[in-house]
Structure 1
Amino acid sequence: MFLPGNREREREREREMADSGEQFDVVVVGAGIMGSCAAYHLSKRGLKTLLLERFSFLHHLGSSHGESRTVRVTYPEPYYPGMVAESIRLWREAESEIGFRVYTQTPQLDMGARDNPTLQSLVAVCQQNRIEHRLLSPADVAAEFGGAFHLPDGWIGVVTRDGGFVKPTKAVAMFQALALRHGAVLTDHQEVTAVARQEDGSLAVSTKTGRQFRGRKCVVTVGAWAGELAREFSGACVPVQPLHTTVCYWKIKDGESASKFLPENGFPTFACYDEPYIYGTPTADFPGLLKIAIHGGQPCDPNRRDWSTNLELLRHAASPWIRARFEGAVEAQEPVLVQGCMYSMTPDEDFVVDFLGGELGKDVAIACGFSGHGFKMGPVMGRILADLVTTGEAQGVDLSHFRLGRFKDNPKGNSKEYGDQVSSYSQAS
């Protein structure tokens, strides 16, 4: 971890390495979960790695902060479960290496109308991938979780074992600390403005402070800023729309048995495939509060967010759902605590993982557009990015669904048989 007494010595080391013109094997731009995981995997392989961040480390201005992120292997798309399974293994490996825990395993409950096409696809993917799952009736769901959930007739619950949640800020700090341990150099307050090819074939990474770093390869993981930086670096069009989203915490009513909402008592992470898509986690972040949020947000400029919360939307969309599903056990008038975050949306809600191309060729890899569901896959994405810049291809993963070129033939990207899961508040209001 970062120790105050060592920070100035670390900064001096960074300045010396930059000023000496020393070349890194890989420069990673963006120190959220994806960049931090990439720096960890690269440095663990013995590569001289530099991790750059435009803001302070562990800031709350992007998508890698907060109290919890859901982990689930259940997806309507067949290409995600395997990546999540590998990530769970890598989460555990990193925890063993650092000596503390960031991932808490719980069951995952997916619910919705029996004939919902997205939920039907999710069940089919579970069957195709041999993911252990159980289909429960409304009465079975109530019995399974101590009467906490009340599903209407015609709905089903899908219960899987590999759910849970990750502590995001703690997780990012863990991977940064491990990267440091493996010899990586970490520098914050360095907003990258250009990546350019040099005559000797190396890359010059320039920052707003006037500093320049040299590397053989570069990884770009800048979240909501991916579109503008890709245009500046190579002219590539990366269709990422930032959304400002609100994470909400609702109070369990006085007199209710709050213990049934605890992860240690089997309460699950959950997702509801309805309009809107609503998700939540057990009582773990704040005592007596339950995280229940709408999977969506309002289009925003990441450089000029107003940080406002649409309480009227929450009362209109989330409050009725909470009253119906928890039947009075949770105060549903409005959340008692809200936190701002950002999604980086692609048109098809799938990731972008590719080389930027152009004059930068295969020397600059970009990963972005994680569309509100990527954090759990940070460890495997770090491994994939390390593969791409060292061997030119990712081992054991089909990246064809994540190629940047898919938007050239179809601006909507990958075709799917069901609708979007993420709502835009500007459309919903």
Structure 2
Amino acid sequence: MSASSVIVIGAGLAGAAAAWQLARRGHDVVVLERTEPANHWGSSHGSARIFRYAYPDALYTRLVVEARRGWDELEREGAMPLISAVGAVDHGDRRDPVRLARVLADQGVAHELLSAAEATDRWGGIAFDGAVLWHDEAGVIDAEGAVNTMLRLAVAAGATVRTGWPVAAVSPRGAGYMAVSSTGDVVEAEQVVVAAGGWLPDLLGGLGIGAERLAAFPSLEVRQEQAFHFPYRDSADVWPTIIHKSAPIQVYALPGGRDAEFRGQKVAEYNGGHAIRSAAWHDRAIDPVRRERVVAYVRENLPGLVPEPYAETTCLFTNTAGEDFVIDRIDGITILSPCSGHGAKFAPLLGEYVARLVEGDGDVPDRFRPLTAGVRA
């Protein structure tokens, strides 16, 4: 199809990826960001997000393989390293490393299945309680660096980025749409991409997508996650990323990146933060009870770390009940919500999906398109 003018709402990983992919295809793109790209009030700040292939669901593993090609392209075009290959370990009875290994084998991803003793020989600072999955192509994404790189490339391709522009509503205007800010400013375009992250619950009702479609949208739960950085006992250590799921706690950990001085591991409970109405209620406050719970976990399960956090932060998870993404289009509005704390690794591919929808191509997994399921059936 011919190029369109497109508004992209939000300049986190999802919005930046959409802007990059659309602009490089010749679309006239304007990004509207309520504060600054990759800001601390959203889900894409800092330099440490997990890149991994291990999923119990083969769909997501296959999509990671596709997304990795996009990351490679982004690093080449942006002349910027964005993924540090440190590998990943997965363990715990609720994580089921044996099942994960089968999925990786089916998708052709190199991996090893280790006993607890074998894993302890490699990573003596981590306590293992059963089989351990290792895959060395996993790593750590520089989230903020990725956002800035994608926006830089988008701008080079003709896009405009407007900061300090909080969108209050979107409504039809002529043959297209207009976005209205909370101060009454207006931007018009033929199509709109909504990548508002934790602000989406507040914005959904103002998109004019109709009650029936709105009712089909999966319920969203926004959580204010708590992450804590613990120093390595041996300052020369560089650990892999870790996912440990075993009752009563689910924990993920990864090297902390430059925002934690590269000297420790970032450790957090998965969905361990408290629920808030939307990102507008994000106060960035650390819960001392949750801090102590993570400290206790580190003390028992990560003996290679000093169990005293030297830095801490909050981050938003915007969850759907099934942890699936929402990437769907209604008329000229595309909603991009890569939810549930695991969307960062797919960013370049998510931008491709948005470009396909904007250009009228429906080649997006059906599971991600709940708003038009009945229409397409």
How far off its partner does 1:133 sit?
Answer: 1.7
How far off its partner does 1:98 sit?
Answer: 1.7
How far off its partner does 1:65 sit?
Answer: 0.2
Map of 1:389 onto structure 2: 358
Aligned 1:204-353 pairs, distance under 5 A: 204-233=178-207, 234-235=209-210, 236-237=214-215, 238=217, 239-253=219-233, 257-259=234-236, 261-262=237-238, 267-275=239-247, 276-282=249-255, 284-285=257-258, 286-296=261-271, 297-301=273-277, 302-316=279-293, 318-327=294-303, 329-332=304-307, 334-353=308-327
Q: Structure 1: how far apart are the matches of 2:372 and 2:224?
A: 26
Map of 1:92 onto structure 2: 72
TM-superposition CA deviations, 1:192-227 (whole Å, max 9, x none)? 22222233x222222223222221211100001112
Mean CA deviation greater in 51-60 or 376-385: 51-60
Map of 1:420 onto structure 2: none
Q: Which runs of 5+ in 1 are unaligned?
A: 1-22, 409-429
Amino acid aligned to 2:337: C
Map of 1:414 onto structure 2: none
Are residues 198 and 287 of structure 1, via their aligned partners in 2, closer, same or farther at CA, if it must alter by over 3 Å? Answer: closer
How far off its partner does 1:369 sit?
Answer: 4.8
Q: Structure 2: how far apart are the matches of 1:340 and 1:386?
A: 31
Q: Secondary structure at the match of 2:58?
A: coil
Taking structure 2 as the reference length, the TM-score comes to 0.89
Q: Which runs of 5+ in 2 are unaligned?
A: none
Q: Secondary structure at the match of 1:79?
A: helix
Amino acid aligned to 2:350: M
TM-superposition CA deviations, 1:363-390 (whole Å, max 9, x none)? 1110115111111111110111011111
The alignment-based identity, stated in percent, is 25
Amino acid aligned to 1:176: L
Q: Structure 2: how far apart are the matches of 1:310 and 1:271?
A: 22
Amino acid aligned to 2:176: S
Amino acid aligned to 2:254: T
Map of 1:375 onto structure 2: 344
Do residues 139 (structure 1) and 139 (structure 2) align? Answer: no
Mean CA deviation greater in 100-109 or 36-45: 100-109
Out of 67, 89, 92, the position equivalent to 1:112 is 92
Are residues 353 and 288 of structure 1, via their aligned partners in 2, closer, same or farther at CA, if it must alter by over 3 Å? Answer: same
Alignment root-mean-square deviation, CA: 2.2
Q: Structure 2: how far apart are the matches of 1:25 and 1:338?
A: 40
Map of 1:5 onto structure 2: none
Map of 2:82 onto structure 1: 102
Map of 1:68 onto structure 2: 48
Q: Structure 2: how far apart are the matches of 1:384 and 1:339?
A: 31
Amino acid aligned to 1:63: S
Q: Structure 2: how far apart are the matches of 1:195 and 1:32?
A: 19
Map of 1:402 onto structure 2: 368
Are residues 118 and 60 of structure 1, via their aligned partners in 2, closer, same or farther at CA, if it must alter by over 3 Å? Answer: same
Q: Structure 1: how far apart are the matches of 2:368 and 2:127?
A: 37
Q: Secondary structure at the match of 1:388?
A: helix
Map of 1:160 onto structure 2: 135
Q: Secondary structure at the match of 1:271?
A: strand
Q: Secondary structure at the match of 2:316?
A: strand
C-alpha contact (below 8 Å) 1:77/1:121 kept by paired residues: no
C-alpha contact (below 8 Å) 1:346/1:369 kept by paired residues: no
Are residues 305 and 47 of structure 1, via their aligned partners in 2, closer, same or farther at CA, if it must alter by over 3 Å? Answer: closer
C-alpha contact (below 8 Å) 2:98/2:131 kept by paired residues: no
Task: Give the count of matched residue pairs.
Answer: 361
C-alpha contact (below 8 Å) 2:101/2:112 kept by paired residues: no
Do residues 48 (structure 1) and 28 (structure 2) align? Answer: yes
How far off its partner does 1:250 sit?
Answer: 0.9
